Amino acid sequence: MKRIKEEINIAETLPSTFYTSEENYTQSVERIFANSWQYIGDRNALLKAPENVFPVTLLEKSIDEPLILNVKDDDIQCMSNVCTHRGFKIVHHPSKMKKIICGYHGRRFDLNGKVDFMPEFKEVKNFPRACDHLTSLPLNRWKRFLFTGINPKVDFTKIQEKLDERLGFLDMDSWRFAPEFSKIYNVSANWALYCDNYLEGFHIPFVHQDLNGMIDYGQYTTECYDHMSVQIGYGKQGDEGFNLPKGHPDFGKTVVGYYYWLFPNFMLNVYNWGVQINIVRPLAKDHCKVEFLYYIGDEEKWRKFGKDALAEKVEREDEYVVEGVQRGMKSRFYSTGRFSPTREKGVHHFHKLVSTYMNEENSAN
């Protein structure tokens, strides 16, 4: 794939074939998703005592990797959930365990994933080898949110530092997860098209009339960092935004929303009432699933500003345009487009990262 030029005013977008080719989709799973940090859950909701071992799946129906989270005090380990004897999935539901035992042939592992015992293996030479132990994966946490990856290429501390720069003052660990508002949307479009749309406010006046009335479009800004970006929505005169502490980069400004994107598919939409998380999960070259998870920090402000009906309307408007673009990508008369230097910095940043990862011949596997 042709690399995206660094200079936005001369760069062209990803080619339409990236969004329509089966081969490109398959490569994107291995070259992008297997080599990046992926959200795997909320520590407070996922890891509950008295159980200490929890099965999770890394990007079901794309990477589809079975994993185990093992909790010891406040330490969390992540490892493979596939037995190294015959590939059977070991842990099927949250459990209280002293040893991890495969239900197929009885291979036993300690809680660090090392082979502890194997029936009928006394005569086997050179056992156990390093590859007979369960593979460990890196695990990182920002506030209550857990991330892992097969072979992530970015230092997660850099992501944490940038998130903390503007969001560190928020006590998200105490916020209430609100499943009654959380939803899953099935979108008939390539995962990257959904991200393209998220990463620019250019379409807001044309697609989201109600949302446009709530922000100062002229001041809407995008800042790009290593493998992430933030869009900042400023309110109009008299609007109620965040109560920002002194020393905050935006102290004295009326900010009504921070929209953080972490490469390739994780979004944090932060408001004065709480946060809405979006996870874009690839399913096929022309289909993805988008999870909307709500965490409410201020119930009164949620009732006043949350506007769940507006969020639903905005999502449906986004689906309409994204699915329309997916159909347009099949056109014989479209190949690439150009970027608006003032409004599409985030999309350009994203496309550069995608082209870099797609041109890496070595995948995580």
Q: Is the pLDDT reported for residue 363 higher than 60?
A: no
Where are the extended beta strands (E) located within 73-165? 75-80, 100-101, 108-109, 115-117, 136-137, 139-142, 145-148
pTM: 0.93
Q: Residue 176: beta bridge partners? A: 296
Among the residue ranges 156-160, 165-169, 209-213, 295-299, the one predicted with the least confidence is 209-213
What's the DSSP call for residue 12?
B
pLDDT of residue 49: 87
Architecture of domain 155-358: Alpha-Beta Complex (3.90)
Q: What is the mean pLDDT of residues 165-193?
A: 96
- pLDDT, tens only, 262-291: 999 999 999 999 999 999 999 999 999 999
Q: Centre a 10 Å sphere on the Cβ of residue 174 and count the other Cβ atoms it contains.
A: 10
As annotated, the residues of the chain forming the CATH 3.90.380.10 domain(s) are 155-358
Exposed/middle/buried for residue 66 (C-beta within 10 Å: 0-12, 13-18, 19+)? middle
Closest CA to 194 of 32, 339, 347: 347
- pLDDT, tens only, 309-355: 677 888 888 898 999 999 999 999 999 999 999 999 999 999 999 99
pLDDT of residue 364: 47
Q: What is the mean pLDDT of residues 180-208?
A: 91
Q: Centre a 10 Å sphere on the Cβ of residue 203 and count the other Cβ atoms it contains.
A: 14
Q: Which CATH class is domain 41-142?
A: mainly beta
CA distance 51 to 223: 41
- pLDDT, tens only, 54-112: 999 999 999 999 999 999 888 999 999 999 999 999 999 999 999 999 999 999 999 99
Q: Is the pLDDT reported for residue 308 higher than 80?
A: no
**Averaged pLDDT of the chain:** 93
As annotated, the residues of the chain forming the CATH 2.102.10.10 domain(s) are 41-142
pLDDT of residue 361: 66
Q: Is the pLDDT reported for residue 191 higher than 70?
A: yes
**3-state DSSP: the chain helix, strand, coil percent, rounded to 5?**
30, 30, 45
SS3 101: strand
Percentage of the chain modeled with pLDDT above 70? 96
